[in-house]
Structure 1
């Protein structure tokens, strides 16, 4: 409120709570002290200066964490279940025992142990059932045989060429009774053996894509059983298998598996073995990962068939001179040790090439020998020239 003071001629602003005429002197200060004392006596301006109790962070955090854990647990959705895709056609139920998904690979310590545990009577029972249900489809009988054997013979995996074993491993471990069952079924399904051979080989290649895949002893046994009696099945269409080999050239394990499977034909028949070597292994000679097996196979093949007369005429000039170059030309794609091994095989290869009557065949070799008679020709190669 504003009032005009007489005699002074000016306005004075009166503040709220102050009375006119009350100055800021000692009386005013004393009144303030009295009011403050009165207020403190009545507890109006009393402050509690005791410090607040500290919150126990551990208990708080534990309680908060427990709540959050419960919330997170409640918020986690259940695992999604993939809907089953309906098949286009109902497939006939396979007779062979399906692989157990919980079965771990390598449950037997060795193949010998797995073969001893094999129930031959149960195998025969399953094969009888397969022949009864699929009486007009022998290819299914054979596939059931291979699936059963491979499932039951899960032993530690072997490297693709089985180089640490004899040439007839693993078939050499099969009992006489089991061999009888296998060969009996092969005889009943003789018209389906070529397709069965392809099935075993392609299934082996598919297993090599899996990590880890199954051991392949069952399929190997079936391949050996087929080619022991019918080696020409492997050589009937070598062009197809050469294309297959080249398509997997970046996968040495697959290439070696193909070479091993086809090579089984040679242990029963020298002629078929030479066909496999010339048609499958010679074209890849020089590839670092495949050359050792190719030369080792040729060495074993010639040792198993010391009578070379059955192989006369198998090697012609177009095959002979690449072998001559690999054996004696320096700085080729073979390692020195492999080149030396091939040089040791060369005399027998020359016998196979020239045949029983060299005089009647040498004229076909003369032009190629002559083209190599240059100053840069290695002395060892010059010695091999029959002219």
Structure 2
């Protein structure tokens, strides 16, 4: 029967002794004999089991709060993490030299017969420490020796020692391997700053490594030239040898840099490298350039200048100018062959003014350098008149247009002889009906050069006469002032008295003064009126006279040009006749004249220097010091101005007085 209570529905369980157990009996069992959490869950998970549950305080683990406090203390006690380096210099400073030395020593012991393994381990170590992104692998905004220049001395010493210990042969092999590793690692996006640093250190001791395996380097560059960051990194590595050896740098530039000069991403760096190379070695006496290297450079620039932007093309031609300066400054004084070849490299056309582009201007400058340093080049030039007539005209035109700058560089005697001979040789050409326009222009240029070389300055007779009269008047005035202002008592007056002309001269002087005074007053009143009337009347005639004068000047210019041309044609004949009957006379006269002038100029210069030194040390001191003289000069100028004002008033009074004398 139902008792009105909840009943448990299910099978009865048997006890261990076979008796049935009721649910009541089970409920009456104490809970302490039930299964524990520790018996079901592993001990290591108990803590996490309780962490997500809210438990009464009497059942909460006792050590939970303590563990939280410990964690907070541990977080507070942890040291701050070091900041990553911002640039390559900070990364190099952060490298521990002791750690590097330990790696080197360990590898030397483990791989005593495999130096390449040591070096590769060092490279891997550096790459792992120098995790800096490089924007431009050529380091354009840093010194040329960067990043080696910022490596700490202890670290640099360790790297240099391990590279030397490996031996030159292994170092060469490692250089080639590292170049390949540099390109491969960059293509994978890995750090390669360690490779860069080791390559740069190797080129300091062995710059020739950059050009030893030339074919391998060319193949490596060709493989990655379409990837500018890698290609520029390789060029930077190839060019490091040029920092120590000019010949290595030029060879690397010509064979590794030039083939990519026309590629947009490489042009600026290739030209800039050449500029830096020439500037770095231009002052070194050991640097020399052969004639073949000069011609090769000229041809190279000629071939590449048109494939570059205008600014880079202009810059490349400037580098050619620097290059030729090094050649001429270090190549002795024999340039006949050079002159001959350079003359033929000029275009076979007459170039003048704007048509002479910067490249051909450098060639002309090379020809002038040959003439300046080797006088025998003038003889070579004369032999090329007929073969290189247009090139000769270009050179003569450049000399004529830049005479002030060029003439001091050339020997006047040889140049004069060359120009005169050209005029003589071109005379036959000008006699025909069909005249070569280039020869005609060159002939006129030669005449202009000869005129400049033979022109002399005329003595200024007019100014000399004026100063002589002024000096005489000053002496007479001084003589009269010494006699108290009375002319009869002066030396000049006494001389006139002895000659019997004093009385007559006084009367003439008084008459002159009175007439001059009345004339001055009349001019002062009437001159402006008559001047205006004269201008109105003479203006048409003045314009007519001006036109006649212009026509006359033009006719005179034509006549003068004809006469000058006739004389210039006859002068070489006269000189040749004199040379025929008196060989060497003209040259001797010119030589002695130049020698005398030089000696005279030297003497004058020496006397001037001695005089200037004497005045500076003996005269212009004390009261004659420049500062005191300046003050006295200012006082004198003020006094002169006051005296001039007073004299003007006195002059006006005298004019009125003398105007009343009959």
TM value normalised by structure 1: 0.66
Shift of 1:356: 2.7
Equivalent in the alignment of 1:276? 252
Equivalent in the alignment of 1:184? 161
1:199 aligned onto 2:177: yes
User: Which ranges in structure 1 are unaligned for 5 or more consecutive residues?
Assistant: 1-105
1:335 aligned onto 2:312: no
Equivalent in the alignment of 2:121? 144
CA contact (8 A) 2:249 2:277 kept: yes
The count of aligned residue pairs is 276
Equivalent in the alignment of 1:313? 289
* Secondary structure of 1:313 counterpart: coil
CA contact (8 A) 1:186 1:226 kept: yes
Query: 299, 321, 330: which is aligned to 1:347?
Result: 321
TM value normalised by structure 2: 0.39
CA contact (8 A) 2:92 2:130 kept: yes
Equivalent in the alignment of 1:51? none
Shift of 1:320: 2.5
Change beyond 3 A, Cα 1:286–1:361: farther
Equivalent in the alignment of 1:360? 334
Which has the higher mean CA deviation after the structures are superposed, 299-308 or 178-187? 299-308
For 2:312 and 2:86, locate their aligned partners in 1 and report how far apart those are by CA, in whole Å.
34
Shift of 1:371: 4.6
For 1:238 and 1:362, locate their aligned partners in 2 and report how far apart those are by CA, in whole Å.
35
Query: 99, 104, 114: which is aligned to 1:127?
Result: 104
For 1:308 and 1:289, locate their aligned partners in 2 and report how far apart those are by CA, in whole Å.
32
For 1:174 and 1:123, locate their aligned partners in 2 and report how far apart those are by CA, in whole Å.
14
Change beyond 3 A, Cα 1:382–1:183: closer
1:160 aligned onto 2:137: yes
Equivalent in the alignment of 2:243? 267
For 1:376 and 1:216, locate their aligned partners in 2 and report how far apart those are by CA, in whole Å.
55
Shift of 1:325: 4.9
Equivalent in the alignment of 2:640? none
Shift of 1:272: 1.5
CA shift digits 1:78-136 (9 cap, x unpaired): xxxxxxxxxxxxxxxxxxxxxxxxxxxx9532222212221111111111110000001
For 1:247 and 1:355, locate their aligned partners in 2 and report how far apart those are by CA, in whole Å.
40
CA contact (8 A) 1:130 1:141 kept: yes
For 1:229 and 1:179, locate their aligned partners in 2 and report how far apart those are by CA, in whole Å.
13
Equivalent in the alignment of 2:277? 301
Shift of 1:374: 3.1
CA contact (8 A) 1:114 1:152 kept: yes
Cα RMSD for the two superposed structures: 2.4
Equivalent in the alignment of 1:244? 220
Equivalent in the alignment of 1:35? none
1:286 aligned onto 2:262: yes
Change beyond 3 A, Cα 1:366–1:258: farther
* Larger helix fraction of residues: 2
For 2:231 and 2:350, locate their aligned partners in 1 and report how far apart those are by CA, in whole Å.
35
1:108 aligned onto 2:85: yes
For 1:125 and 1:273, locate their aligned partners in 2 and report how far apart those are by CA, in whole Å.
36
CA contact (8 A) 1:153 1:218 kept: yes
Change beyond 3 A, Cα 1:382–1:136: closer
Shift of 1:355: 6.2
For 1:214 and 1:166, locate their aligned partners in 2 and report how far apart those are by CA, in whole Å.
25
Shift of 1:353: 4.4
1:255 aligned onto 2:264: no
For 1:156 and 1:262, locate their aligned partners in 2 and report how far apart those are by CA, in whole Å.
21
Equivalent in the alignment of 1:228? 204
For 1:311 and 1:356, locate their aligned partners in 2 and report how far apart those are by CA, in whole Å.
8
Equivalent in the alignment of 2:51? none
Change beyond 3 A, Cα 1:233–1:345: same
For 2:163 and 2:97, locate their aligned partners in 1 and report how far apart those are by CA, in whole Å.
16
* Secondary structure of 2:187 counterpart: coil
CA contact (8 A) 1:317 1:365 kept: no
CA shift digits 1:220-240 (9 cap, x unpaired): 110111001110111212233
For 2:313 and 2:294, locate their aligned partners in 1 and report how far apart those are by CA, in whole Å.
21
For 2:148 and 2:273, locate their aligned partners in 1 and report how far apart those are by CA, in whole Å.
18
Shift of 1:185: 0.5
Q: Which has the larger radius of gyration?
A: 2
Compare relative contact order (CA 8 Å, sep 6+) and give the higher one, 1 or 2: 1
Change beyond 3 A, Cα 1:291–1:269: same
Which has the higher mean CA deviation after the structures are superposed, 361-370 or 137-146? 361-370
For 1:365 and 1:311, locate their aligned partners in 2 and report how far apart those are by CA, in whole Å.
22
Shift of 1:198: 1.4
Change beyond 3 A, Cα 1:323–1:361: farther
Change beyond 3 A, Cα 1:274–1:310: farther
Shift of 1:322: 1.8
* Secondary structure of 2:255 counterpart: helix
CA contact (8 A) 2:203 2:210 kept: yes
User: Which ranges in structure 2 are unaligned for 5 or more consecutive residues?
Assistant: 1-82, 368-662
Please show how residues 16-55 of structure 1 align to structure 2 within 5 Å. Answer: none
* Secondary structure of 1:310 counterpart: coil
Shift of 1:364: 5.1
For 2:343 and 2:185, locate their aligned partners in 1 and report how far apart those are by CA, in whole Å.
47
